Homo-oligomer: A and B are copies of this chain.
Amino acid sequence: MTTVYLAIVCGLIAVLYGFATSRQVLAASPGNERMQDIASAIQEGARAYLRRQYTTIAIVGVIVAVVLWVTLGTLSTVGFAIGAILSGVAGFVGMNISVRANVRTAEAARGSLQGGLTMAFRSGAVTGMLVAGLGLLAIAGFFWYLTGPAGRLPNDREIVEALTALAFGASLISIFARLGGGIFTKAADVGADLVGKVEAGIPEDDPRNPAVIADNVGDNVGDCAGMAADLFETYVVTLGVTMVSIALLIQADAAELMRLMSLPLIVGGVCIITSIIGTYMVRLGASGSIMGALYKGFWTSAILSVPAIWFATQYTLGDMHKVIGGAGFLDEGADTATATAGFTGLDLFWCMLIGLAVTGLIVWITEYYTGTAYRPVKSIAKASETGHGTNVIQGLAISLEATALPTLVIVVAVVAAYKLAGIIGIAFSATSMLALAGMVVALDAYGPVTDNAGGIAEMAGLDDEVRHKTDALDAVGNTTKAVTKGYAIGSAGLAALVLFGAYTTDLETYFPDLTVDFSLSNPYVIVGLLLGALLPYLFGAFGMTAVGRAAGAVVEEVRGQFRDNPGIMAGTSRPDYARTVDLVTRAAIREMIVPSLLPVLSPIALYFIVRAVDGQAAGFAALGAMLLGVIVSGLFVALSMTSGGGAWDNAKKYIEDGNHGGKGSEAHKAAVTGDTVGDPYKDTAGPAVNPMIKITNIVALLLLAALAANGG
């Protein structure tokens, strides 16, 4: 139990760090009155959107909570509520600091590039540490309560179900937040660009554009709050499923189980400390490279995590060479020709190193595919010379190609971790990946702050000098945003087998008399794989269409304002920013509902339909296969969309830096088209695939429990 207390302390330190750092941020000057005016418009818009989003989610959440309470009881409902509420808190607080740091970053950038970088990164670090800290507190605190005051054994079914329900709460909020925020941000962005840059011929972030505030609000509710909810979910699900798998698969006494189940918590804890240390290393070097400064922070955290994880493992398990589990520790559901006979603490340490290595490699691969210094982005920029069509063709080619290396990395990691310690080994690899979440989210949440800072600088009429600095800060944001998404979906690839293992083990526990055939020669397995694979496509279609439709509504609205009030274009009267924000808000909320329910309802529908056709065993086989189908296809859809979108965006930036004719050239126009196409790819449909995969899996686990509790 001491280990769990230590983990809780680390979680509290993260929250404390967040609190202290946000005070530092707020203490800085918020700039002149005009800047504060603009910033407060953005703040109002973001708050109004989130209030509406969370109200809508709350309705869904209450319905789901009632269903859970009726089918699975109080503990699971409490777990669900904790996951849901803390996910909302992480997003809300992150957004709140972000909408205050933006104007302070613009002000600081009037001083120096380092000043702007520090301000924006600190704000990102607040969000990052809150995501990791609240995630760890949720899961460690709940586990402490269950095994302590509530007096349950660590592998009690109720603990398994309650932890799963906690993960479900986080996931459900996250898919709404990711998708709703994603639709908002891209509808506003695409709509503002179309009607502003293309039709009216005014620059980006021109204050005469009524959609300009909505665009800046979008950065905060999509790229900050939505992303934070997504990573909170990934963190909670990964640690949670690791603990659940240990409870399900390892046959050992309660003390040993307790030690093993608290290991993911303390690993998460120590890596919060290394992440905090890393945040202090983010400084511009002699080269002045911004990416280099961010990398210094990331690599410091990653490298310090190696000894930290070593000591945490040794402290928790004691003897690193003692064999855990032993022969037959794996449940029958997982008995493969290659199952290992048991594992040691050392094996788990190696598995966690694999997770860190995967994180590092995904960062590196993502930078290759989305950075302006390498072949992929340059090839898209080059293809822009021959027009819009060839830009998009090359971008699509790159997006398809960008799936290859991450897949190979994941495949090698799966095999290596499995050979070391079976499914538990894979689970620990995923855990150590997510342990760095604080740092990764910090890098990501920094992006929207600098993006906003640029917008505020433009609208407030600050020196071009300031805008140049914020632009430079923003450019690396495209890569760090793509990194986070690749990282989240990569960890989902690792977690897939673990989630499936939990499903098969649960199935055997709940339905011991039922033989379910998960062999590829069972046609219901093929049916499940195909329908699972369909989900990311259908989901992507919904997301893309929603952005297109909402952006169209923005165009109409802005055209209307220009028509009704000619003073706007003349610069004599102020456009009605709030009306546009409200319009996008309503559109985003409306469009997010159906696609978000798709992964919640599909597994349930599939099970009941197949059961009606061919009995329970067929239903469970199809459902299990759907879980893998959704990851097999979702991994590729998500990787291709997020990398491709990042590459398109940076190809435009590369041209704007003066290549292939620079700003205003024909190549630039083509690159703007590519960027527009990439927007919903990388910020709406692509990133929402990650929570979608998790939801499908968790709903299946809860369905099993609910069926068992209610007699099949």
Binds B, one of A413-421, A473-481, A576-584: A413-421
Structural contact, A393 and B680, CB atoms closer than 8 A = yes
- A632 to chain B: closest CB distance in Å? 5
A521-536: CB near B (< 8 Å → 1, else 0) gives 1111111011101100
Structural contact, A521 and B518, CB atoms closer than 8 A = yes
Structural contact, B190 and A548, CB atoms closer than 8 A = no
Structural contact, B518 and A500, CB atoms closer than 8 A = no
Q: Does A58 contact B (CB under 8 A)?
A: no
User: How far apart sit A397 and B591, CA to CA, in the bound complex (Å)?
Assistant: 14
Structural contact, B628 and A414, CB atoms closer than 8 A = no
Q: Does A334 contact B (CB under 8 A)?
A: yes
CB contacts (< 8 Å) of A545 on chain B: these are 394, 397, 401
A410-453: CB near B (< 8 Å → 1, else 0) gives 11001100110000001000000000000000000000000000
User: How far apart sit A630 and B680, CA to CA, in the bound complex (Å)?
Assistant: 27
Q: Does A383 contact B (CB under 8 A)?
A: yes
- A21 to chain B: closest CB distance in Å? 38
CB contacts (< 8 Å) of A501 on chain B: these are 521
The oligomer's copy count stands at 2
Structural contact, A393 and B618, CB atoms closer than 8 A = no
Q: Does A295 contact B (CB under 8 A)?
A: no
Residue A337 contacts which of B387, B522, B635 (CB distance < 8 angstroms)? B522
User: How far apart sit A415 and B407, CA to CA, in the bound complex (Å)?
Assistant: 31
CB contacts (< 8 Å) of A531 on chain B: these are 407, 411
- A12 to chain B: closest CB distance in Å? 37
Closest to A331 in B: B521
Residue A544 contacts which of B338, B400, B672 (CB distance < 8 angstroms)? B400
A669-712: CB near B (< 8 Å → 1, else 0) gives 00011011100110000000000000000000000000000000
CB contacts (< 8 Å) of A404 on chain B: these are 534, 537-538, 541
CB contacts (< 8 Å) of A613 on chain B: these are 415, 419
CB contacts (< 8 Å) of A524 on chain B: these are 336, 338, 415
CB contacts (< 8 Å) of A337 on chain B: these are 515-517, 522, 614-615, 617-618, 621
Q: Does A603 contact B (CB under 8 A)?
A: no
Size category of the A interface is 35 or more
CB contacts (< 8 Å) of A415 on chain B: these are 523-524, 527, 613-614
Q: Does A389 contact B (CB under 8 A)?
A: yes
Closest to A522 in B: B336
- A483 to chain B: closest CB distance in Å? 20
With contacts A415-B613, A629-B632 taken as known, whether A407 is within 8 angstroms of B530 at the C-beta atoms is yes
Q: Does A176 contact B (CB under 8 A)?
A: no
Q: Which of A388, A397, A523 has the most CB of B within 10 A?
A: A523
Closest to A193 in B: B389
CB contacts (< 8 Å) of A640 on chain B: these are 537
Q: Does A45 contact B (CB under 8 A)?
A: no
Structural contact, A387 and B533, CB atoms closer than 8 A = no
CB contacts (< 8 Å) of A190 on chain B: these are 389-390, 393
Structural contact, B526 and A497, CB atoms closer than 8 A = yes
Closest to A624 in B: B520
Q: Does A551 contact B (CB under 8 A)?
A: yes
CB contacts (< 8 Å) of A102 on chain B: these are none
Structural contact, B398 and A541, CB atoms closer than 8 A = yes
Structural contact, B676 and A390, CB atoms closer than 8 A = yes
Structural contact, A401 and B541, CB atoms closer than 8 A = yes
- A229 to chain B: closest CB distance in Å? 24
Residue A552 contacts which of B390, B529, B541, B614 (CB distance < 8 angstroms)? B390
**Apart from the given pairs A392-B677, A393-B680, A398-B541, 20 other A-B contacts in the complex at a CB distance below 8 Å:** A337-B522, A389-B673, A393-B547, A393-B548, A396-B677, A397-B544, A400-B544, A401-B541, A403-B538, A404-B534, A407-B533, A411-B530, A418-B523, A500-B520, A518-B521, A519-B519, A520-B525, A520-B625, A529-B628, A632-B632
| Chain A residues close to B by CB (< 8 Å) | 190, 193-194, 198, 333-334, 336-338, 383, 386-390, 392-394, 396-398, 400-401, 403-404, 407, 410-411, 414-415, 418-419, 426, 493, 496-497, 500-501, 504, 515-527, 529-531, 533-534, 537-538, 540-541, 544-545, 547-548, 551-552, 555, 613-615, 617-618, 621, 624-625, 628-629, 632-633, 635-636, 640, 672-673, 675-677, 680-681
> What would be 12 A-B contacts, judged by CB atoms less than 8 Å apart?
A190-B389, A194-B386, A386-B552, A388-B388, A389-B676, A397-B544, A401-B541, A414-B526, A415-B524, A426-B523, A518-B520, A673-B673
